Every structure is written in structure tokens, then in C-alpha cells.
Amino acid sequence: MTTGTKAEPRSDEDRRARILDATWQLIAERGFHAVRISDVAKVCGTSTGTVHYYFPGKNDVLAEALKYCVDRAFARQSTQLRAVHNAHERLLKLIDMQLPRVGQVRDEWSIWLQYWAEATIRPEFRPAHNEYYARWQETVRRIVQRGQRQGIFRADADPHVVALRLTSLTDGAAIQVLTGVPGMTIGTMRELLVDFVHQELVAGAR
Amino acid sequence: MTTGTKAEPRSDEDRRARILDATWQLIAERGFHAVRISDVAKVCGTSTGTVHYYFPGKNDVLAEALKYCVDRAFARQSTQLRAVHNAHERLLKLIDMQLPRVGQVRDEWSIWLQYWAEATIRPEFRPAHNEYYARWQETVRRIVQRGQRQGIFRADADPHVVALRLTSLTDGAAIQVLTGVPGMTIGTMRELLVDFVHQELVAGAR
DNA sequence: GGGCTAACTGACGCATCAGTCAAACATGTG
DNA sequence: CACATGTTTGACTGATGCGTCAGTTAGCCC
């Protein structure tokens, strides 16, 4: 009874979502500043006027598209992680889901890189960025704590510190993969992170 | 006897350098795509025509400015590191020099973020980027090897792996500092990296 | 049907810039 | 001085793209 019927979801909020969807993909492919409103409109099969009907200006579309992408990725991630109960397995699953293979995940990493570059230069991007980043660190921290409760991770590890280290390591490795640093492949990255988890949390655990 | 006299260094190659100097600073402050040729000219106290006299197009100025900045930073770093003979101290010195405090070093980190974002999107930036990135990894690797020869770093550590980990960790931490992630300060970053060095290389060394 | 509103269109106005070019200026050389 | 070469200028042009707006269509209520 909120608004529309179930029979016709194509409208209203749906249009906004489709615009944001097109926008973040374009940002991932071409970079933040290379996206044109007309490109977005073309991908959506609509006109530039419509984009402006839903968003006051280009900046709003771009900023919201970044959020939109990160939000969706986080939701997808959460769902998949919840299915894994063993903390060690869950952490490995998280690592696996974060590997910037070609396709969706790589595009999402591309978005993060754009986000970082933008947040460094324009402080107005930081609040939103930091909120999302905090979520991602919290995900790691929670898994560490869960593992400690389950008795499979070392009890003397500080979950907060581990989260700080693992997120830094992951981001740094992802940069090397995305920029094509020789020797840093998806495989190397996985190994790097799995080793870290083993050394930091598993080795010598009771 | 190569070209000019020492009495008058203002000319020729100097102009180029001043343009590149102005450009990389502008990139660091405003971001790659927000730099205008007219801004560069204004900072240099010259005209847009002159910028085009020395560089065929905007892209050339920007790409060369990135290289210029990284080159100079690397040279400065090398000079300062060479003065420290103990490998452990040299590594700590390197970490210290890399901390993105306000000013010069922070601006240089801003350049790296821009470089990463650009290299991810535009493959033509990767060769140059990777060359510079390899240098930075090599610096770390050499220090590790030196420490092993000096007998102050664990002999069982793989210098290549340590370099991979330390560079990833550094880049990831720097991102958090630059984007203003709460809890990640210069101090936290230093602690993070120093702890890593201790655990990975110093603890239990003979 | 008539009137109302929300959704949508796309041509246009306007600002912004990269790059060009002819002219001016500087410096050196015979 | 005449001339050549190298450097600098800034007005101009052409392209691009954001945002606007007058006009159109579609749905809905009375």
C-alpha cells in the first residue's frame, strides 16, 4: 500500500536506479571525470533532460552513483558471507570475493580507486567514503571476533588492529593488480592475504 | 661545456622544469582532470602559448608532470637513504620519509593516488607507472637483503615477499590517511609499518 | 471530455578550454 | 644594420558539454 502495485515496478525509483547503475559502470570503465551526462542517457536509452529531471546536477549523479555501487556491493557481500558460519572460512570467503577478477568485482575496485582519488582532493566526498570504509573494516573486525569466540583464531590478536592491517594490505594489493604491476596477479594477491590471515590469526591458535 | 653557463640557469630546460613543477603541484591539489593549461601558465607567470611551445598537448604536460614528480621524489629519497648504513635504521628512515604528513610528501602521495586511478582506466599510463612502482619495491627489497647480509634481519625472510607485503601495506595505509579514515593518523600508520618490520624481519633474528 | 500533473524530450544558450597563429620581442651573427 | 633563429604572447576558433526550458505525451481524477 506504500506506492505502486507489484505488477509494474518499472517507474519512479526504478528510473533513478537505472541511471545510477549506468553511471557507476561508466565511472568504472572510463573514470570519474570522463563520464558525460549524454553517455549516461545513451546507456539508459533516454535523454539528458531525464537525467536532470531526477538529479539536480552532474555532480549529484556521480556522487550518488559511487554510493550506489558501494552499497550494492556491500549488500551482496553481506548476504553471501552470512551463509558461512565458520569464521576462518568466512574470512577466506571474504578474501575470495574481494579479488579483483575481471568483470563485476574489478569494476567495483575501479570505483574504489576513483573514490579514493576524489576523496583525497575533495573533502566533501570524505564523510560518505569514510562511512563505507568503516563498514568494510567492521566486517573484518566482526569476523575476527567471531573466530575468537569460536576458538579458532588466536585470542591474543586485537581485532581492531587486524582489521586495520588486513584492509590496508587488501587495498594495497588491489592497486597493484589493477595497475598491472608485473608479478602481482590475482593468485599472488590471494596468497598474500591468505598467508597474512594464517600468520596473524590461525598459527598457534588453540 | 654542455650548453649554458652556470651564471644563468634560467632558460631552456629550466622553463620545462618550471612548467612541470607547477603542473604536478596543481594535480596534487586539484586532481588530474581539474588542471587547466591556463592555470599552469598563471602559476608560471607565463602564457598558455608558451606551455604549448614546450609541450605538444595537455596530455603530454600532465603525463610528464606525473613522471617528473615521482622521479624527483625518488632521487631525494635515494640520497637521504644512502646516508644511513644500518639496514634496520634505513628501513625505519624510509618508512618515516613516506609518511604523508602535510606538505611535500602528502602532495606526492596525492600524485600516486591520481596515478593509480589513471593507470587503472588508461592502460597507456601503466608502463611508466610500473617502472616507478618497481623501483619503489626494489628499494625495499634491497634494504631487506642488506639487513640479511648485516645479520640484523631474519635470514629466512624472502626479500621479494617482504617487499610485496610492505609496499601493499604502505599504500593501503596511505590511502586511509589521505581519505581521512577516522582512527588512521600519521602516528597509527607509522606504528602499523614499524610493527610489521619488527614482526617480519627483526623478531627472532640472529 | 476537460483539466491537472508528473514524466519526458531534445534543441538551444552559454561557458569553458585546448590548441592555433600571426605578430612582437629577444638574441645572436655576419 | 640587416637578417635569421628562437622564444613569447594573447586574441581567436572550434569543439564540447552542462543545464535550461518550452513543448509534448501519458496517466488520472472529476
Predicted confidence at residue A59, as pLDDT, reads 97
pLDDT over 90 at B2, yes or no: no
The helix/strand/coil state of A144 is: helix
At A14-63, the pLDDT tens digits run 899 999 999 999 999 999 999 999 999 999 999 999 999 999 999 999 99
- B3 pLDDT tier (thresholds 50, 70, 90): very low
At A95-110, the pLDDT tens digits run 999 999 989 999 999 9
Write the DSSP symbol of residue A205.
-
Report if CB A67 to strand D is under 7 Å: no
> CA at A58, C1' at C12: how many angstroms apart?
19
Please tell me the distance from the alpha carbon of residue B191 to that of residue B99, in angstroms, as a whole number.
Answer: 11
CB contact under 8 A, B123 and A180: yes
Nucleotides, chain D, CB distance < 7 Å: 7-11, 16-22
pLDDT over 90 at B61, yes or no: yes
User: What integer is the mean pLDDT of B13-27?
Assistant: 94
Predicted confidence at residue A2, as pLDDT, reads 33
* Averaged pLDDT score across all residues of chain B: 93
More confident position, B153 or A11: B153
At B157-167, the pLDDT tens digits run 999 999 999 99
Predicted confidence at residue B4, as pLDDT, reads 33
Tell which of A113, A130, A179 to mutate to test the B interface (max B CBs under 10 Å).
A179
pLDDT over 70 at B9, yes or no: no
What is the signed CA dihedral for B167, B172, B177, B182, rounded to 10 degrees? -140
Neighbouring CB atoms inside 10 A of B3's CB total 7
Q: Which three cell numbers mark B109?
A: 602521495
Report percent pLDDT > 90 for chain A. 90
3-state SS, one letter per residue, for A79-106: HHHHCCCCHHHHHHHHHHHHCCCCCHHH
CB contact under 8 A, B134 and A179: no
Q: Which domains occur in chain B, in start order?
A: 1-66 (1.10.10.60), 84-202 (1.10.357.10)
At A114-131, the pLDDT tens digits run 999 999 999 999 999 999
- B14 pLDDT tier (thresholds 50, 70, 90): confident
pLDDT over 90 at B188, yes or no: yes
> CA at B15, C1' at C30: how many angstroms apart?
30
Report if CB B44 to strand D is under 7 Å: no
User: Cα A60–A62–A66 angle (5° rounding)?
Assistant: 115
Predicted confidence at residue B11, as pLDDT, reads 61
Please tell me the distance from the alpha carbon of residue A105 to that of residue A107, in angstroms, as a whole number.
Answer: 5
Please tell me the distance from the alpha carbon of residue B122 to that of residue B116, in angstroms, as a whole number.
Answer: 10
pTM strictly above 0.85: yes
pLDDT over 80 at B183, yes or no: yes
